[in-house]
Amino acid sequence: MCGIVGYVGHREATDVLIEALKRLEYRGYDSSGLATLSTGRGKGRLRVLKSPGYISALEKRIKTGSSRIGISHTRWATHGVPNEVNAHPHMDGEQNVAVVHNGIIDNHLALKRELARKGHEFLSQTDTEVIPHLISEEYRHNGGNLFEAVREVVKRLKGSYAIVVLHRDHPDILVCAREKSPLVLGTGVNEGFIASDVTALLRYTNRFIFMEDGEIAKVAADGIHIEKISGGTVAHEWTRVDWSLEDAEKGGFKHFMIKEIFEQPRSLHQSQTGWRSDENSIPADLATARIIRIVACGTSYHAGMVGRYLFEKFTGLPTIVSMASEYRFADATSDDPLMIFITQSGETLDTIMAAREARSRGLKTVAITNVVGSTITRETDLTLYMRSGPEIGVAASKTFTSQLMMMYLFSSYLGYRMGYIKRDDLNSIKEHLRHTIRSVEGILNNTGPIREMAEWFSGSSSAFFLGRYVNYPAALEGALKMKEISYIHSEGYPAGELKHGPLALLTEKTPIVALVAGDHTYEKMLGNIGECSARGSPVVAIAPDGDVEIGRYTDRVLHYPRVDPLFSPIPISVLLQLLAYYTADHRGCPIDKPRNLAKSVTVE
């Protein structure tokens, strides 16, 4: 969600803050702002600039200056409308303290009432504004120790936060703290960085420390000092992140999303080849599991639904898929399941809280994520990395298919370790996955028919995506992509459920996207397509090359290179991503930054 950047060093701070902030635009935001401390003319003056809308609006307000320290923020509104007053940074009444904050302070109203009784006046509707006022109070009482003032204040905050504090009397340090909201520290030559995401800082460094909950840090140009908020020094190892700056840039593509769609042959290959090292890290006791539960949100949940079919096929174990936001409200079971948590960013708060709940129940926990050092890696017993590279577009593309790749690899390997499938079966699955990657390349080499279909599809206002078996989750994901970026209302449905209500919504203006694979569901899918056609709805069939039968049921067909039907969700998903992208592009939608959405959902 919201983005944070802090800098102290030898560069012009404003330049660093704006450049880094732009790399966090994908997270979703409605306003932006920065605070810098002047070192030239007007030395010691805390300067704050804020603006609703995109960062480009903020840039227009920036005047030349001289500063070597500052903080910046992109806000996604939770308390108060998106306007200049509610934008971050927020300041105390004396304008000595500036604070940027991600998260939600649950007890902000009680704190605001307390401060108001002491004479503090508030300008915004936000929960964040209480923080600089509290710091100002504590700073006066403790004799001017900013680090300790921030420590005492965050002890009083209830909820989630990642905060960075700049004080006019301390031109050489930033103080930051974290609880349930991501914060990463970076280092360069005589400079220090703070951000909510490593992608913001790739231009400047590849060495990072991922702060943990309950930690506070002092960041200076010559070093970083971290302690527990409760007291005691913390020793972190530096993590090297090998994503390149080029990975996080468009590289000549119109949008990040289409760039990332076209990166999928590489990202899938990286996921498969990287699995070789993951195999060696899987403890033998996972093969003793008797039930599996997969927990995730959004797109990751759809990957988990495909995983359910795969784990049941390759391990024979009953597999349950749960929404992360609901898991911890369910009653504890005595099944002692193996818990698998899927989160692209590793910072999805609902998934993190579900993982904590599972560990509190004494269950075995595994995370599947894309980000080294992210919070989920510290909340589970084992982490399996997707290795997709950075994904900037809000709508997931390459990370979804990498999650699918991980479902195939993990489920088959666990089944082999359990003795449920043989070594030859395992090798065959890996070969099918290599062939599937080639099928994705085939789709990307022939996008013309998809573009033409998208132009026709773009005039729709509502659509259904239908699938069966492993392609039912693919239908859900295809509908999600279409609604996310084209704003066409789309619903994914099990094809067999049409007669239980949705048929009432079908008209000649309601297109149906039917996902067809040459498996045991094929005849049933043909029947479902006939049901839709009989009610006048135009049907777009997504079918494998060489399927001539499907043309008898519909005159709109998009073909994908034939693969074993069990592996068809990967090429089908890529085709549906392209259909959604070209539809949204034809409608002129802001594809990389769809309204009201954020890339990393770090609040509950």
For residue 429, CA distances in Å to 20, 93, 280, 310, 435 come to 42, 64, 18, 11, 10
Give CA–CA dist 498/361, Å, rounded: 39
Q: Is the dihedral of CA 466, 472, 475, 481 positive or negative?
A: positive
Name the one residue in this structure whose structure tokens are 């971050």: 88
Q: Give the integer Cα–Cα distance in Å for 526 and 460.
A: 23
Token pair 């399941």 in the structure block, residue:
337
Active-site residue flag, 599 = yes
CA within 13 Å, CB half, 344 = 28
The answer to whether the CB of 545 falls within 8 A of the CB of 557 is: no
Which residues lie below 8 Å from residue 91, measured CB to CB, with a gap of 6+? 35, 46, 48, 97, 98, 99, 132
Of 50, 259, 364, 599, which is the active-site residue? Answer: 599
Residue 35 in contact with residue 12, Cβ under 8 Å? no
Q: At residue 271, what is the residue type?
A: S
CA angle 602, 159, 25 (to 5 degrees): 30
Report helix, strand or coil for 132. helix
Each residue of 193-219: b (16+ CB within 10 Å) or e? bbbbbbbbbbebbbebbbbebebbbbb
Indicate which residue of 2, 176, 532, 589 is catalytic.
Answer: 2
CA dihedral (189, 195, 200, 203) in degrees, to 10, reads: 0
532 is catalytic: no
Three-class DSSP category at 481: helix
How many other CB atoms are found less than 10 A from the CB of residue 233?
8
Degrees to nearest 5, angle at CA 232 with 137 and 237: 115
Q: What are phi and psi of 358, to 5 degrees?
A: -65, -40
**Token reading at 436:** 């599937």
Which residues, at least 6 apart from 523, have a Cβ–Cβ distance to it below 8 Å? none
User: What's the rounded Cα separation, in Å, for the pair 321 and 403?
Assistant: 15
Contact present, 360 and 379 (Cβ < 8 Å):
no
Residues annotated as part of the active site = 2, 599
